[in-house]
A and B are shown apart, each in its own frame.
Chain A
Amino acid sequence: MSDKKAAVLILEDGTKFEGFSFGADRSVSGEVVFNTAMMGYPESLTDPSYRGQILVLTYPLIGNYGVPPFTEEDGMLKFFESDSIHIKALVVADYSFEYSHWNAAQSLADWLKANDVPAIYGVDTRAVTKIIREKGAMLGKVVVEGEPEPAEFDDPNRRNLVAEVSCREPITYGSGKYKVVLVDCGCKLNIVRCLLKRGVEVIRVPWDYDFTTIDYDGLMLGNGPGDPQMCGKTVEHIRRAMEIGKPIFGICLGNQLLAIAAGASTFKLKYGHRSHNQPALMVGTDQAMITSQNHGFAVDPSGLGPDWEPYFVNLNDGTNEGIRHRTKPFFSVQFHPEATSGPVDTEFLFDHFIENIEKYNG
């Protein structure tokens, strides 16, 4: 068809994948990552952890059920994980121009265009994935026909992505007997929802906010993008919170920050875990869970102090999936118990957190 506009994905190693544009007329650069989930694109695209990344979906048929409406509930968008699309660009194999779903308000293409995010279809995303798997995460560009190619490859991990996506001022949600401070390093809204569902008040604070000034009952360290080493300020605050001793629960980046605060280091995985099917074993048990994951960095637990122990471990590659304090109510996980998108098998960890708060308060 003549109305098709060409677009190309260019990898840092020079490989080019030609396709057609279905998003905004713009050329961009970022880190190329792949996700093997088979559904949940509205959630993924608005997940702040994808900040600066060109997202390649291995599942080929995308856009089938459109994009849900911007309904608000509890002061948040009901069907999304943040207020905007965070990915730099989207790369898929087969885009569904026609969608069908009772809860759809617009097409994926229209939504991407409205958010000025470019997108390509017609790409052999399996081939892209294999390159990244073999050579490791790499930078890339999405160049849309007629739009100038960015001169440089942009490495988002050099920037403080957390600062880009964190809220600017504290925001309070709900009410309840207990106050939970949620440190927003780019947290997904479903963390807020999971807490509200359990009847607590949530105070979402910016990443560098000194939350120790708040008289909270529990501390929730949310997910977020990029290299955890960029969040020195947050780590400082966490160390202070550890002294305070009230319950702490970390997710994803929150796990990495808590681990750093506890003496461990982090490293960049070859190509990260981004999928809905990662098995995590609770250490010392026969309990294995299917988890949703989205991270490029991981914790090296060897530096943890003697008071700490691994909580979960990945059954596929043996990487750390969580840590916990041996005596105090501090724990964190690398995966996403709040899911959206992905399996909800580990949502019980929120109950565990609330129990810790209740216990702490006697």
Chain B
Amino acid sequence: MDSKIEKVILLGSGALKIGEAGEFDYSGSQALKALKEEGIYTVLINPNIATIQTSENIADRVYFLPVTPEFVEQVIERERPQGILLAFGGQTALNCGVKLYESGVLEKYGVRVLGTPVQAIIDTEDREKFVEKLAEINVKTIRSHAVTTVDDAKKVAEELGYPIIIRAAYTLGGLGSGFCNNAEELDALASKAFNYSPQILVEKSLKGWKEVEYEVVRDRYDNCITVCNMENFDPLGIHTGESIVVAPSQTLTNSEYHKLRKLAIRIIRHIGIVGECNVQYALDPESEDYRVIEVNARLSRSSALASKATGYPLAFVAAKLGLGYGLHELKNSVTKSTTACFEPALDYIVCKIPRWDLGKFKGVSRELGSSMKSVGEVMAIGRNFEEAIQKGLRMIGQGMHGFVANKELQTADLDTALSHPTDKRIFFIANALKHGYSVDRIHELTKIDKWFLYKLENIIAIEHRLEAFDSLEALPDALLLEAKQRGFSDFQIARKVLHPADADMERGIMQVREERKRRGIIPFIKQIDTLAAEYPAQTNYLYVTYNAVAHDIDFPKDDLGVVVLGSGAYRIGSSVEFDWCSVNAANTIRQNGLRSIMINYNPETVSTDYDMCDRLYFDELTFERVLDITDLEAPRGVIVSVGGQIPNNLAMRLQTAGVPILGTSAVDIDRAEDRHLFSQMCDELGIDQPRWRELTSLEDIYEFADEVGFPLLIRPSYVLSGAAMNVVSNRGELEHFLTLATNVSKQHPVVVTEFIENAKEIEIDAVAKDGEVLVYAISEHVEFAGVHSGDATMVFPPQKMYVETMRRIKKISRQVAQGLHISGPFNMQLMAKNNDIKVIECNLRASRSFPFVSKVLKVNFIEIATKIMLGLPVEIPHRSAFELDYVGIKAPQFSFSRLQKTDPVLGVEMASTGEVGCIGDDFYEAILKSMISVGYAIPKRNVLLSTGDSRSKTDMIGPAKALQEKGYHLYATQGTADFLAQNGVKAEVLHWPDSPEKPNTLDYIKERKIDLVINIPKNLSESELHNDYTIRRSAIDFNIPLITNARLASAFIYAFCRLDRKEIKIKSWNEY
């Protein structure tokens, strides 16, 4: 190790976004741990306040600041580190680091990049350099050849070999592109393409090729290992982040595996990586021909997955290698006796499945392709493919019970559903197999390797065999066992054999469970030990399988085990915050001499690092699986309140099954969850709620609308299309929504709620013991109620709230805590208008904002909550929000640019994929830091205003004046410009996108003449005018900052008009 390195800066990845999510909390945390072990002082820059890496005792110093070159330079100037790590914070950190290198900042301050040299990073990031670099060692990449005549196109095609793909250069939307299987087809298509463009690009078509990845590690002695390879279930054409992936590869021979492995090592050596990199290949399914698709010279989503899949701590090792260690000088942290210089041998298969939330976005295309849209992923471990994939399909939490025994998806055209992949394709394969499609035909349509399809066919075959029985007694042991071994849940077996009505499902599941336990058909616990049992390992990294006859571990019945249920797949509304809560609960359990037992299956998390708890069950969070584990572990209790909604929903069922639930009782949790019970309690306590009704007919809904007036919030229980919730402003919209988007009936009631406009939204996060509130944090939203709390900008402590309002909120929360006998964390959302306070929602669990308020207040709410749940004494910290002389602001991160065609507006459905939390000396400083952290920039000169209805137009006069005074040049659409002119603000008119007149808004956006777009939607309904949509969407597509909320726009504008960028203070967390 290099002894001159005493202080190191690590760049984090900022807010979670599509393509850059929780995996970087995991990799950064591991790297910091590795550095700390060496006695190095660590400085972390990451505005993502909900992460583990930004918690106490991980880094020595944490800056909640944007990961941008100018902020990082200021931190470097202040901290004067000797080294910097760029590979642990995704593309954000890498891009920032490359800029700092190119601008000479790193050299200026004498900061050395540890690990892979920056030049190597640049060589892999720049497409042309990358192709050249690999050509130097005769490694094949995917090349485009530009040609200007049909004859040249044919010549290139002959060289490359058919099929080929041609693309017309300089056209949008793939005009003139297509596949050609022979010279005739090329002739026809190329001639057409030259009509659009003088130049066409000819590429070899790799459609249907296998996609295979390798995770490679290299040290400074040139020692290389490949930690893992992975094979995509979905062939080339679908982004690997959108693909179902298995590890290790399943359909590669020894020759193919080692050919690609050898190439990967040659590449990593030639590029000069020190640390970890990922090599992606396309492999011909008919030969050993290959192409390198891309090389990632940093820790990636795939490396996080590889780490979890193998148990090999890639990020930890990569950090050590960056410090100068050799692989052979490091120990395998699982066995603790063997070396880190080895390649893990797996004796199981893992299956990663992406989690999409496309239903949350308006107008987004569901078809999968080369860009990523998924918001999270799961990893399932099994000892055969069927077991792993069925587990995985349950884990993604989209209401599916595995590969089969689901409600069949409807499609008019099954062939298209197979050949045009969407987030639902795997289930259409199930349909196809059931409807007699052969494996060959499905392979034709999907190009998925037949091996995978045969395995899926096995599941269907077992389903058919189960269907032949209609009682459990008649079901033979062998078939029951085989079904369990192939990943069938008790639910699936119950549905296939007992055919219970939905209402009786619970009883059916328990019948199956009892029956198989009676027959001794129970699962076993196996370890993940990196060496396939070759060496003894003290590993606590576990999974559950029916393909075994013995447990790998013992179960001490000492009443010291406490189970923490984790959060499952990241999704819109549930992500890294709950991981922070889970990890903190596990830490508290451990610190108090108890054994922490974590159950979670999300490979992007820190909670699934096996050194974060005493036992990690990397397995399902289903009722069945949790019971399997509690049967064996016989824990003191289970904590259901730190992992978000998934564990919360299990509370009642677990308690009924006799599992001790720690903290607030399941009955009380249910009283908060059940709308009717909760309202009843509120009524008894005299707590106000917005008026609501659960209604089953259109007439009743209209009647209720007449009673409370518009707007109304509509929550259907059955959705035909589009978002589940909506706000309607008038009768026309109500009718439109109810008839088109939903189905109202006795079976499918609709919840209609009064929607109060221009009300302040407030949240309280608190922890109570036996109904008494011990700690609390009240925050306010910048936006008015109506923007989902997950999309709102949150201020803590509140800066613009009446003391009276605060007092009333405290009183209400005390009443609720008492009424529900809360022992543990809870969160309430309220709205206030003129000191009238109404409760919107109450959750008896930790909320998304727990890490934010805990870190701003510097009081760990989860630690307190966990101690209470464990029945341990707690010290009540006497730190009050009133004493804080700084402000914390949590701001949402949106990923609209990844979601083509989506309308980037905010509404009652959450759309953000992540968030940041920054601290400032005052509101303006905090809002600037947080908004810059989520990608906004202070505009240089030109601002486009289009400010919606008259109320928001009025609201925007002040900010517009501030902009004018500050010397900004304002552009506005006609109505807004007129309104501003009447109020003494000058704005140049830009015409609507659909107008032929110039100057036009669209041209200005496309030419990037605008630095900030403010477009406020005119009403709350879905039916936004096309012009406004075009402005918003093109702002996103051309990467211009966009704000669609008047309150947020005002806050941001005032902030940058009143506070100069240079006045933003560079202060670490501990300095507040």
Contacts and interface: CB of A to CB of B under 8 A. Distances in A.
A37 B532 CA distance: 9
A340 B253 CA distance: 11
Nearest to B457: A98
Interface stretch (A21-29, A99-107, A202-210, A240-248): A99-107
Interface string B449-482: 1110011010000000000000000000000000
A216 interface: no
Contacts of B547: 60, 93-94, 124
Given A38-B346, A60-B384, A316-B342, A102 B286 contact: yes
B622 to A, nearest CB: 23
B202 to A, nearest CB: 26
A277 B339 CA distance: 11
Contacts of B484: none
A20 to B, nearest CB: 10
B338 A68 contact: no
Interface stretch (B7-15, B254-262, B733-741): B254-262
A288 B341 contact: yes
Contact of B254 (A43, A124, A133): A43
A125 B347 CA distance: 9
Contacts of B451: 64-65, 96, 98-100
B165 interface: no
B531 interface: yes
Contact of B223 (A133, A278, A286): A286
A126 B254 contact: no
A315 interface: yes
Contacts of B346: 38, 59
B265 interface: yes
Given A65-B251, A342-B254, A133 B345 contact: no
Contact of B349 (A42, A61, A342, A343): A61
B554 interface: no
Interface in B189-231: 221-225
A327 to B, nearest CB: 27
Contacts of A61: 250, 349, 384-385
A279 B330 CA distance: 12
Nearest to B247: A38
A315 B262 CA distance: 21
A194 interface: no
Contacts of A36: 345, 347, 531-534
A38, A290, A343: most-surrounded residue (chain B CB, <10 A)? A38
A93 B328 contact: no
Contacts of B252: 39, 65
Nearest to B534: A36
A345 interface: yes
B913 to A, nearest CB: 35
Contacts of A316: 337-339, 342, 535
B536 interface: yes
A98 B533 contact: no
Nearest to B533: A129
A10 to B, nearest CB: 14
B665 to A, nearest CB: 40
Contacts of B341: 279, 288, 290, 315
A27 B1056 CA distance: 83
A100 B450 contact: yes
A129 B547 CA distance: 15
B803 interface: no
A302 to B, nearest CB: 23
A94 B487 CA distance: 14
Interface in A221-245: none
B1032 to A, nearest CB: 47
A318 to B, nearest CB: 10
Contacts of A97: 454
A69 B439 CA distance: 23
A40 B258 CA distance: 10
Contacts of A130: 533, 550, 552
A344 interface: yes
A289 B532 CA distance: 20
A68, A275, A288: most-surrounded residue (chain B CB, <10 A)? A288
Nearest to B479: A1
Contacts of A64: 250-251, 451
A58 interface: yes
B342 A342 contact: no
A38 B251 CA distance: 11
Interface string A305-325: 000000000011100000000
A38 to B, nearest CB: 5
B254 A315 contact: no
B660 interface: no
Contact of A60 (B337, B348, B536): B348
Contacts of B287: 102
Give the interface SS of chain B, mostly helix, strand, loop or mixed. Answer: loop
Contacts of B251: 64-65, 100-101
A153 interface: no
A70 to B, nearest CB: 15
A59 B548 contact: no
Interface in A107-142: 124-127, 129-130, 133
Interface string B350-389: 0000000000000000000000000000000001110000
A339 B258 contact: yes
B412 interface: no
Contact of A58 (B248, B347, B349): B347
A125 B533 CA distance: 10
B344 interface: yes
Given A60-B383, A98-B450, A276-B345, A343 B258 contact: yes
A129 B532 contact: yes
B344 A277 contact: yes
A17 interface: yes
Interface in B249-279: 249-255, 257-258, 261-262, 265
B310 to A, nearest CB: 11
B533 A279 contact: no
Nearest to B221: A286
B345 A65 contact: no
A110 to B, nearest CB: 16
Contacts of A277: 342-345, 531
B342 A315 contact: yes
Contacts of A315: 328, 338-339, 341-342
B250 A102 contact: no
Contacts of B265: 345
A232 B548 CA distance: 44
A34 B223 CA distance: 27
Contacts of B450: 98, 100
A281 interface: yes
A343 B261 contact: yes
B327 interface: yes
A39 B259 CA distance: 13
A213 interface: no
Nearest to B328: A288
Contacts of A58: 345, 347, 532-534
A344 B256 CA distance: 12
A1 B769 CA distance: 57
Given A93-B547, A127-B549, A343 B533 contact: no
A315 to B, nearest CB: 4
A147 B278 CA distance: 50
Q: 10 shortest A-B CB distances, which residue pairs?
A: A40-B254, A98-B454, A100-B451, A36-B532, A36-B345, A58-B532, A341-B254, A100-B450, A286-B221, A288-B328
Given A38-B345, A59-B346, A344-B261, 19 more contacts: A34-B533, A39-B257, A40-B254, A93-B547, A98-B457, A100-B449, A101-B251, A101-B253, A129-B532, A133-B533, A276-B345, A277-B344, A278-B342, A288-B223, A290-B342, A316-B337, A343-B258, A343-B261, A343-B262
18 contacts: A36-B347, A36-B531, A38-B345, A60-B383, A65-B251, A94-B383, A96-B455, A98-B450, A102-B287, A103-B253, A124-B547, A126-B347, A130-B533, A277-B531, A290-B343, A316-B342, A341-B258, A345-B265
